[in-house]
Structure 1
Amino acid sequence: MKLFYSPGACSVGIHVILEEIGKPYELGLVALKEGAQHKPEYVAINPKSKVPALLRDDGSLLTEFPVIAMWLAKTNPEARLVPTDLEGETRCAEMLDYVCGTIHPQGFTRQFRTANFTPREEDFPKVVEQGKALAAKYFDVLQSTWKGDTWVLPSGYSVADAALFFVEYWATRRSGMTLPPRLATHLEAMLARPAVQRALAQEGLPA
């Protein structure tokens, strides 16, 4: 397998999952800040021009964080990264979708790619503040609806934790935000996991 990633992008969550699984894989750097995702050599691999993307051993490509995460979990059941019951798997998918479909684009893309939301540079600060406010709102929702203990799901650690990790990491390391108590505890628990430490080190990111 080969993971196409950019340091500190949401792909770090998939990187963590691969480290948790422990099977051999390669890394393919896609420098988003340099526009590498739009260069012909990467577009030929992934026409969506984004990360993460996972090149599987059969030569086929998987895209979209929730799909890659669930495929890795389901094809590596010994790693126990997804609940085995229908309700648990459904709740895991629900969290993946909330992080990747709501918290990421509404809370953080507004902060990191502000020009996507307004052509007027004088409006950039307002868009960034809106993104921070939305991210804080979404984190508060998770705080008030938390069902697990340390980990997101009552069944224990899963790919949902790896997804939540990347937005928590962005909030504290890039946006200067303070997480609600349960999410702060979750982030600290994630940072203590060897798989997370290895993924961050490989991407040159601070713990």
Structure 2
Amino acid sequence: MLTLYYAPGTISIAVALTLEEAGLPYEAVKIDFKSAEQTQPDYLSINTKGRVPALALPDGTVLTETGALLEYIADVAPSAKLIPTDPALAAHMRSAMYYLASTMHIAHAHKLRGSRWASQQSSFDDMTSMVPQTMAACATYVETHLLRGDSVSGQSFSIADPYLFVVCSWLEGDGVSIADYPKIQNFMTTMEARQSVKTIREKAML
């Protein structure tokens, strides 16, 4: 069985949602960020990066990085059809995921993870103050360029959708009103209606 190491409110929930969508059995192991469990030897022996998600395979192999895990799930559960068959749509899906990983997630992290880039409190304060502006700019890009109707691909559910759902769930906490972005608001409503989201909420993971 697969084992997913996750923390509520983090991007690791995108992997849990995708596992549900794929119908793959898995065990979910919560990593307590409040007690800094991710920095302790037991977890570092699983993922030396000290971050989530991590996905342990039945043979003991451990995979990390959200995008890679989502691609893995899609590959081992082809019947779920989680990647568009059209090459251009698949490329658009991946471009959305890369944007979320390289830009929007980083903008969000500046609020609480400033120590990754600086060491002075004044720097932390400056980064935090910029988060509403940078996340609003990201939301505008998502609204204008990434979403195509009810999903990223515009045709069917793909692995980019749980990724986007989790990242957009951070917007309100970052000072950005989803109501200002009709496409994002519709996307979030559509996602909330999916059984995968309902299941993860029932499990108190989201």
With structure 2 as the length reference, what TM-score do the two structures score? 0.91
How much does 1:147 deviate?
A: 5.3
Is it true that 1:88 corresponds to 2:89 in the alignment?
Answer: yes
Tell me the distance in 1 between the aligned counterparts of 2:91 and 2:131: 28
How much does 1:139 deviate?
A: 1.1
Is it true that 1:175 corresponds to 2:174 in the alignment?
Answer: yes
- Alignment match, 2:66: 65
Is it true that 1:130 corresponds to 2:135 in the alignment?
Answer: no
How much does 1:148 deviate?
A: 1.8
**Shift in alpha-carbon separation, 1:147–1:127, aligned structure 2, 3 A:** closer
Amino acid at match of 1:83: P
Contact 1:8–1:203 at 8 Å: present in 2 too?
Answer: no
Contact 1:7–1:204 at 8 Å: present in 2 too?
Answer: yes
Tell me the distance in 2 between the aligned counterparts of 1:192 and 1:114: 35
Secondary structure of 1:32's match? coil
Secondary structure of 2:29's match? strand
Tell me the distance in 2 between the aligned counterparts of 1:146 and 1:42: 35
Contact 2:38–2:51 at 8 Å: present in 1 too?
Answer: yes
- Alignment match, 1:113: 113
Secondary structure of 2:148's match? coil
Is it true that 1:140 corresponds to 2:140 in the alignment?
Answer: yes
- Alignment match, 1:98: 99
Contact 2:7–2:31 at 8 Å: present in 1 too?
Answer: yes
- Alignment match, 1:11: 12
CA RMSD of superposed structures (Å): 1.6
Secondary structure of 1:42's match? helix
How much does 1:188 deviate?
A: 1.2
Tell me the distance in 1 between the aligned counterparts of 2:188 and 2:174: 15
How much does 1:129 deviate?
A: 2.3
Secondary structure of 1:138's match? helix
Greater CA deviation, 176-185 or 63-72?
Answer: 176-185
- Structure 2 alignment gaps of length 5 or more: none
Percent identical across equivalent pairs?
28
Is it true that 1:191 corresponds to 2:192 in the alignment?
Answer: yes
- Alignment match, 2:38: 37
- Alignment match, 2:152: 152
With structure 1 as the length reference, what TM-score do the two structures score? 0.91
- Alignment match, 2:53: 52
Contact 1:37–1:50 at 8 Å: present in 2 too?
Answer: yes
Contact 1:117–1:127 at 8 Å: present in 2 too?
Answer: no
Greater CA deviation, 155-164 or 84-93?
Answer: 84-93
Contact 1:81–1:159 at 8 Å: present in 2 too?
Answer: yes
Contact 2:152–2:161 at 8 Å: present in 1 too?
Answer: yes
**Shift in alpha-carbon separation, 1:125–1:188, aligned structure 2, 3 A:** farther
**Shift in alpha-carbon separation, 1:185–1:11, aligned structure 2, 3 A:** same
How much does 1:15 deviate?
A: 0.8
Secondary structure of 2:154's match? coil
Amino acid at match of 1:139: A
- Alignment match, 1:161: 161
Contact 1:111–1:132 at 8 Å: present in 2 too?
Answer: no
Tell me the distance in 1 between the aligned counterparts of 2:158 and 2:86: 13
Tell me the distance in 2 between the aligned counterparts of 1:37 and 1:119: 21
